[in-house]
Structure 1
Amino acid sequence: MAVFTPVSLDDLSSWITQFDLGKALAIKGISSGIENSNFFITTERGEYVLTVFEKLTFEQLPFYLNLMRHLAEGGVSVPAPIANRKGSIINELHGKPASIVTKLAGHCELAPQPVHCAAVGAMLACMHMAAEDFEIRQPNLRGIAWWNETMPVVMPHLSDNDKQLLTTEMAFQNAFAASDVFKELPNGPIHADLFRNNVMFDGDQLTGFFDFYFAGCDTWLFDVAVTVNDWCIDIESGELDQARVRAMLDAYHEIRPFTAEEQIAWQPMLRASALRFWLSRLYDFHMPRDAEMLTAHDPAHFERILRLRIEHTAPALFTTAG
């Protein structure tokens, strides 16, 4: 969500005439994130979010945008893509694919309490179930195949200790992905990046999930692990907060009960989630791209989390009584 492709109000004013949104009144770049160019825009009809896609192609984008449309129509609170007068939700701007979606109300909750974690867990379960019948299938592009491709790229930049950690964990994850337990894990479309800054709240009321542009088909448990590893930790240490973990998992489990195989896979999946984001942050840190307002995330954060998930047993996914 950094700005790689600047868009002026004049640019927007001419481009937006293909939509029934009235005249463009204002545009403001969004500074957080590192993948796409995002803007808050205001028109005569209201406020929206414009995204210019920097990596995703015209061929890949139907999965993401139609998934958002499918979820919105299924009652899950996510930004809904806006079609132009020809019915297209993917259009070209400055030679790149672009889209407009509705803007969610509220703000990001950056200091979540158990009540917020429970709301996120419940909606995540609803999202997985609502997406189960989504017809387009696209793999998680930042899944294990990408981890194996990225490992040799970042390896020369690591200390000996970090090289050992990465080598050992990749061997573990490759073996786990080939296991019978992994093959039995429920799967389907997942958000894959449901951090605190991708969820909106109005007070304690969850108003929606957004930024689906890392979504793909993978195990639902991986999505839960990604979410727990951000929402339910002490940011400074990376340690799990037991009350927040329990609130999120119990709320999810009440709507979409976890399976016995998921219980076995829980610890490996928490490690997998930490590994995925350690690798992506290493890549972005050591192979930076030019952009307005871009600040790369610190890779050490997820290195700490990965070491903690290896060393310490996480709370059970569900209790036998559940």
Structure 2
Amino acid sequence: MSVYTPVEPAEVATFLRDYAVGELLELKGIADGIENTNYFVTTSGGQFVLTLFERHTQVELDYFLELMVTLANHGLPCPRPIMADDGSHLRRLAQRPAALVERLPGHAISTPSVAQCAAVGEALGRIHRTSRHVHRRRTNERGPAWWQVTADALRGTLDADSMALIDSEIAAHAAFDNGRLPRGVIHADLFRDNALFEGERLTGVIDFYAACNDILLYDVAICLNDWCVGADGDFDDTRGRAFLNAYAHGRPPVASEADALPLMLRAAALRFWLSRLYDFHFPRDGQITHIKDPAHFERILRKRIAAPRWAEDLWST
């Protein structure tokens, strides 16, 4: 992730004295992502990821860390936060809250196979089922209220057609009754760069720092819009079917979810189109800048509107 708060090796070496992880051998900034400052840390005791949180509150960080510990304790391939000598999972570094978590093996993939999509679907279902053991709650800060605030901030920067599409989508979702849909803890950002593989085997689901309590189907839609599409945004039926069938093994869906999936796919596309537009037009300062193309999710949104029944039909087969 972009390095907003640079730290020196000597600072990190001092920070690590509160952990039983050995001596610092290497420190390397991570360029992917946009929210927090992340480093790969190699010590004489292993490999870790050091995260400096740029904007989250103590309450939010407690939520994230409880979730990660819970999932790891239940055998999910999720990074376990490392406990400091005083029993805490959160310390301070460079005037920022900071956490050290285990670095899982494997690497992100750019073009997922059918088997890899199935592995992610099964893991997401297990995450949704297991996360009921998390007692803290967190509202989705990138939900409909944020959509409207962000749309208003973008007025004057977008063409009339794009702005009209955003406004009409916000109105459509406001009119939809989602009260029948199951809710729980969602990852909210399980893109291809947040899953690690060794061959076809899923070795890690990472970056839980957007996790929150929301509609479970919305999390499914986020994944489908990334894992099961080509570069042009068109769905791949085989990958989509594999993902959904595997997800159902981890967390069986209810009948109302098939009907709601087309609109949830549009909601997921709108959310990430808006966030990418905002990052593009109002970039944050950072030593490493990684801003993703907003047009990709505009294309996906338009395709989801044009072909609304694809995912509903696929899940029903």
Interval containing the TM-score (normalised by the shorter chain): over 0.9
TM-score, reference length from structure 1: 0.96
C-alpha displacement at 1:59, in angstroms? Answer: 2.9
C-alpha displacement at 1:199, in angstroms? Answer: 0.2
After TM superposition, the structure 1 = structure 2 runs for residues 215-226 of structure 1, keeping only pairs within 5 Å, are 215-226=211-222
C-alpha displacement at 1:63, in angstroms? Answer: 0.5
What is the match of residue 257 of structure 1?
Answer: 252
C-alpha displacement at 1:317, in angstroms? Answer: 6.2
C-alpha displacement at 1:295, in angstroms? Answer: 2.2
Conservation of the 8 A alpha-carbon contact between 2:2 and 2:287: yes
Distance 2:26 2:297 in 1: 37
What is the match of residue 115 of structure 1?
Answer: 115
What is the match of residue 199 of structure 2?
Answer: 203
Distance 1:317 1:18 in 2: 54
State the AA in 2 paired with 1:72.
A
State the AA in 2 paired with 1:13.
A
Distance 1:12 1:265 in 2: 47
State the AA in 1 paired with 2:5.
T
C-alpha displacement at 1:320, in angstroms? Answer: 5.0
What is the match of residue 213 of structure 1?
Answer: 209
What is the match of residue 36 of structure 1?
Answer: 36
State the AA in 2 paired with 1:4.
Y
Distance 2:156 2:32 in 1: 28
Distance 2:241 2:299 in 1: 21
1:288 has 2:273 as partner: no
Kindly report structure 1 stretches of 4+ aligned residues shifted beyond 4 Å.
Answer: 317-321
Distance 2:129 2:228 in 1: 22
Secondary structure at the aligned position of 2:311 is classed as coil
C-alpha displacement at 1:110, in angstroms? Answer: 1.2
1:183 has 2:140 as partner: no
Of stretches 40-49 and 307-316 in structure 1, the one that deviates more from structure 2 is: 307-316
What is the match of residue 153 of structure 1?
Answer: 153
State the AA in 1 paired with 2:105.
A
What is the match of residue 13 of structure 1?
Answer: 13
Corresponding pairs, count: 316
Distance 2:154 2:161 in 1: 14
State the AA in 2 paired with 1:220.
L
What is the match of residue 275 of structure 1?
Answer: 270
Secondary structure at the aligned position of 1:208 is classed as strand
Secondary structure at the aligned position of 2:69 is classed as helix
Distance 1:317 1:37 in 2: 41
Conservation of the 8 A alpha-carbon contact between 2:261 and 2:311: no
Q: Which runs of 5+ in 2 are unaligned?
A: none
What is the match of residue 72 of structure 1?
Answer: 72
C-alpha displacement at 1:318, in angstroms? Answer: 5.8
State the AA in 2 paired with 1:15.
F
**What RMSD, in angstroms, separates the aligned Cα atoms of the two structures?**
1.2
Q: Which runs of 5+ in 1 are unaligned?
A: none
State the AA in 1 paired with 2:158.
L
C-alpha displacement at 1:74, in angstroms? Answer: 1.1
